[in-house]
Amino acid sequence: MADKYTPQTIEAKWQQRWDDDGLYRSRVDWSRPKHYALTMLPYPSGDLHIGHWFAMTPSDARARYMRMKGFNVMFPMGFDAFGLPAENAAVQRNIHPKTWTYANIERMRKQLRSMGAMFDWTREAISCEPSYYKWTEWFFKIFYENDLAYRGEALVNWSPTLQTVLANEQVIDGKDERTGQPVVQKLMTQWFFRYRHYADEMLDFSKMDWPEPVKIMQENWIGRSEGARIVFKTEAGDPIEVFTTRPDTVWGATFMVLAPEHPLVEKITTDAQRADIHAYVERVARETELERTAEDREKTGVFTGAFAVNPVNDARIPIWIADYVLVNYGTGAIMAVPSGDQRDFEFARKFGLEIIPVVQPDDQPLLDGATMEAAWDGAGTMINSGPLNGIRANGEKGRKNPSVDAAIDYIEEIMVGKEAVNYRLRDWLISRQRYWGSPIPMVHCEDGTMETVPDDQLPVVLPDDVEFMPTGRSPLTYYAPFLNTVDREGRPAKRETDTMDTFMCSSWYHLRYLSPKYAAAPFDPEEAAYWLPVDTYTGGAEHATMHLLYTRWFNKAIRDLGVFDDARTIAAAHGRSADGLFDEPMMQMRNQGQILGEEREGDVVVATGRADGAKLFADYVEVIDRDQAEAARQQKPDAIVGQIMKRTENLLQVDDGGDTLRTIEVVQGATVVIPSIPGANNVNQLRQHLDIQRMSKSKGNVVNPDELVAQYGADTVRAYLMFGFDWSKGGPWNSQQISGVVRWLNDIWEIGTAEPPTGAGDPEVEREIERRMHQTIAKVGEGMESFSFNTTIAALMAFRNDLKTAIRDDKLSERAWRAALHEMLLLMAPITPHIAEELWEQLGFAYSIHEQAWPVYDADKAKSEMTTLVIMKNGKPVGHVEVPVDIEAEAAQEAALASDAAKRFLNGDKPKKVVFVPGRNGMEPKVNIVV
């Protein structure tokens, strides 16, 4: 009898062996095709969780598959190590962010190794290492020197109490989550990158194999719109520029709206309106952008008292401010056309402003501004619009619309505006008023000018010996040894204290992986010439617009600054066309879903004590069986009996079957009885109900992969994650269903370690196994190509079933048995690398299975001679007949009409129509009889 399958032993053994042999060391080899597989790098938050496994192990399986397909594969890993949580740890637990981060990295490295993934650890990159952020700073510098970085103003979440800028996640309902004090929006001078500079190029996805939804979301995020900029003037002569996609409706502009933060507001406001305007501006400062732009909200706004002149008809129109106009979109001001824009319409109705219809819809009574019920933005004919009257408005965007076309020509002719393109996309705000990020290599001189830090002084290093104040304010702003420096002339100067957005670090980490120790440049051009671009990038769809757009922008910016020039030359020297090679960072992109926490029932308790109103002060709480609840209710009518839906310390929210939850406070020294937990019990052991939701430590629903690996082994955990979910979707964790995968691998182990069969074999069964083998090769290959890991494993399990039956019935010769195992282990190798390697060795095949070629699919061997012809009545299956696989239409229709099933419902009548569907791609042929 063979040994039992003990993954813990064999996995440790092979991981060590692969490591010793450098099996996954990826090296430039121009004689072989390359494949750069990349999975989003983790933030070192503490422990690896099951979500990391779900993201990484299928990506690893895919990378291993590509390797067996003959590619030279690079699959690196690293850490996105700057960020807010490290600073929170510093403030809350008095641990230095660096200490906290590196301790986490150390722990996570070990956990990552237990996956048995083919990570090439010699390429590990960590974004908070000075050798890494030196180049993050260097990139900032070249952006600055080439006018891609500039200083501008942007709103921040300002806590007047803490005198600190807060992250969006630290602000809840307009208040600081820690102190509960109000937070206001405040303008601050900060650093930006010219994100819009590449807006048009980023709209071109023609070279990329990316998910359609991601492309659509990026398109919408960039939000390109064509129209015109038109300059209105106040009565005092101050110009107010607006952007509009509908310059044809300018005759219908009956008022203007400025963003409350618009610089002109203070100047034009009349004394009579000043108090109202100030109050409104202050109120808007407390609103989030999401609130401001929500279209279902009641419109608010205040009249400034000032008037503007409509440049096309000299109409005197009032200027208002309102929160639905954003200072950072367009020009921060709009011409309001209430007859054509629903938001303007609602605003006009609420404040009694004039409405002039300018587009008359077809076949409808003439619109009247006084009685219109909604704005009309569809097609029609121009009215009330001077020279545009009678022109068609066809509802299309830009110049394709005759009325827009004519309007642009007209306003350009009379010189009040110009054709223009606007983007929803805003420039990239990279400033963070924080400590734990890459410093910005700029110096503020005494005379108010700025200069860059010279290259030979990079990186500007984050000081270690700083103290953190409980306010969360960045120590860089008050730590003198960092703050005080000199400029290039040696005069006293101050360092820039903002640090960079961590998206900056993650925009180029795939380049640092190429050569993490390279000192002369951000990456070794030889490595870049060979490995770039990334061939397959995998990660969560939650990064669709932000990270993925930033990294595309970054790539284009550094390409234009010549950063890839050396790599381009080297690629060309190796006969590789460099045309467009560096235009996009990642050619193929695929998303995985999220693993959510498992649903769990809470304990059912019987609680007795002193009732006080609706609340119960319990001195006795006992956990009982779920099905005993009814009996307990009858036995103890004074008690609260029900499931614990929520527990916060000693406060329980219990569902007793009534409409609302009951609150129970378990008093100090109360008796708590939990039969399933031996010994004395306390209130903290009571389990609350858990919904299906994202895993987080505070919810207590985190699944720890370490425990699963210790119990089942890495191969089983890998295979379960790939088998149990649709990878692109994810879903709630289920701890029960893993047993199917456990059984699968136990079966494989038993088959692989059994004594070879001694029988002569049954040629028919052996042929059938060969057929199934090749069908499996096809399915596994297709699954790997399309990231459908669950169907891949389903096919392997189905083959296991066939193989098991054949072996049980003693129908296989030793030769057929070995051939089947040989191919099957190769197909399993990417998914379950350890058990495949172990059995491969035990069967006497040459080390390493991971260096073998992928099995070749043979269509002839996969083919069967006979197949089932499905007979349908009006599209519903009613019977079958056996026919040759390559049956032609005529023969199939004849066979179908002659079948018992057809005779039964036809009753000798003639069918209305007969449709033959030939069998394709392993599907049965069908004949549909229409009656």
693-712 binders of RNA (CB under 7 A): 693-694
125 binds RNA (CB under 7 A): no
Residues 6+ away with beta carbon under 8 Å from 683: 621, 647, 649, 650, 666, 670, 672
Q: Measured from the CB atom, is 12 or 167 closer to RNA?
A: 167
Looking at residue 117, the DSSP 8-state letter turns out to be -
Say if residue 533 is preceded by a cis peptide, omega within 30 of 0. Answer: yes
CA atoms in the 13 A half-sphere facing the CB of 530: 19
- As a whole number of angstroms, the distance between CA 379 and CA 817 comes to 72
Applying CB under 7 A, the span of 271-279, 394-402, 421-429, 633-641 interacting with RNA comes to 421-429
Applying CB under 7 A, the span of 15-23, 272-280, 357-365, 800-808 interacting with RNA comes to 800-808
Applying CB under 7 A, the span of 15-23, 289-297, 390-398, 552-560 interacting with RNA comes to 289-297
Residues found in the chain: 931
Residue 87 CA from chain centroid, whole number: 24
- Burial pattern 107-126, b for ≥16 Cβ within 10 A else e, equals ebbebbebbbbbbbeebbbb
- As a whole number of angstroms, the distance between CA 310 and CA 501 comes to 42
Q: Which of 99, 163, 684, 734 binds RNA (CB under 7 A)?
A: 734
Q: Measured from the CB atom, is 541 or 621 closer to RNA?
A: 541
Q: Measured from the CB atom, is 497 or 653 closer to RNA?
A: 497
4 binds RNA (CB under 7 A): no
Applying CB under 7 A, the span of 61-69, 142-150, 515-523, 912-920 interacting with RNA comes to 912-920
926 binds RNA (CB under 7 A): yes
CA atoms in the 13 A half-sphere facing the CB of 771: 12
**Using an 8 Å Cβ cutoff, are 111 and 119 in contact?**
no
Q: Which of 880, 889, 891, 911 binds RNA (CB under 7 A)?
A: 880
160 binds RNA (CB under 7 A): no
Q: Which of 157, 245, 608, 643 binds RNA (CB under 7 A)?
A: 157
Q: Which of 25, 874, 885, 898 binds RNA (CB under 7 A)?
A: 874
**Using an 8 Å Cβ cutoff, are 184 and 158 in contact?**
yes
Neighbours of 335 (CB within 10 A): 26
**Using an 8 Å Cβ cutoff, are 509 and 41 in contact?**
yes
Which helix (H) or strand (E) is 531 found in, with range?
A: helix 525-531
Report helix, strand or coil for 136: helix
814 binds RNA (CB under 7 A): no
Least distance in Å: CB of 167 to RNA? 4
921 binds RNA (CB under 7 A): yes
Q: Measured from the CB atom, is 485 or 545 closer to RNA?
A: 545
471 binds RNA (CB under 7 A): no
913 binds RNA (CB under 7 A): yes
Applying CB under 7 A, the span of 164-172, 556-564, 824-832, 848-856 interacting with RNA comes to 164-172
Q: Which of 208, 546, 765, 843 binds RNA (CB under 7 A)?
A: 546
Q: Which of 278, 392, 426, 633 binds RNA (CB under 7 A)?
A: 426
Q: Measured from the CB atom, is 311 or 585 closer to RNA?
A: 585
Report helix, strand or coil for 541: helix
Write out the binding residues for RNA, residues 579-608 only, by CB under 7 A. Answer: 594
212 binds RNA (CB under 7 A): yes
Least distance in Å: CB of 3 to RNA? 15
Q: Measured from the CB atom, is 719 or 821 closer to RNA?
A: 719
**Using an 8 Å Cβ cutoff, are 444 and 493 in contact?**
yes
Binding mask 68-97 for RNA (x = CB under 7 A): ------------x-xxxx------------
Q: Measured from the CB atom, is 655 or 750 closer to RNA?
A: 750
Q: Phi and psi of 62, rounded to 5°?
A: -65, -40
Q: Which of 166, 327, 411, 816 binds RNA (CB under 7 A)?
A: 166
Least distance in Å: CB of 169 to RNA? 4
473 binds RNA (CB under 7 A): no
Which helix (H) or strand (E) is 519 found in, with range?
A: none
**Using an 8 Å Cβ cutoff, are 533 and 584 in contact?**
yes
Q: Measured from the CB atom, is 18 or 195 closer to RNA?
A: 195
Least distance in Å: CB of 726 to RNA? 3
Give the β-pairing of 926-930 and 866-873: parallel
Which amino acid is it at 719?
A
293 binds RNA (CB under 7 A): yes
Least distance in Å: CB of 22 to RNA? 30
- As a whole number of angstroms, the distance between CA 93 and CA 861 comes to 65
Report helix, strand or coil for 454: coil
878 binds RNA (CB under 7 A): yes
Q: Which of 39, 254, 360, 433 binds RNA (CB under 7 A)?
A: 433
Least distance in Å: CB of 122 to RNA? 23
- As a whole number of angstroms, the distance between CA 843 and CA 258 comes to 78
**Taking Cα atoms as reference points, which of 304, 235, 301 lies closest to residue 273?**
304
- As a whole number of angstroms, the distance between CA 907 and CA 904 comes to 6
Applying CB under 7 A, the span of 408-416, 569-577, 630-638, 867-875 interacting with RNA comes to 867-875
Q: Which of 725, 787, 840, 854 binds RNA (CB under 7 A)?
A: 725
Q: Which of 4, 93, 316, 876 binds RNA (CB under 7 A)?
A: 876
Instruction: For residue 302, give both structure tokens.
Output: 């205040």
Cα end-to-end span (Å), the chain: 62
Angle among Cα 849, 855, 860 to the nearest 5 degrees reads 160
Write out the binding residues for RNA, residues 655-684 only, by CB under 7 A. Answer: none
Q: Measured from the CB atom, is 85 or 361 closer to RNA?
A: 85
- As a whole number of angstroms, the distance between CA 884 and CA 901 comes to 19
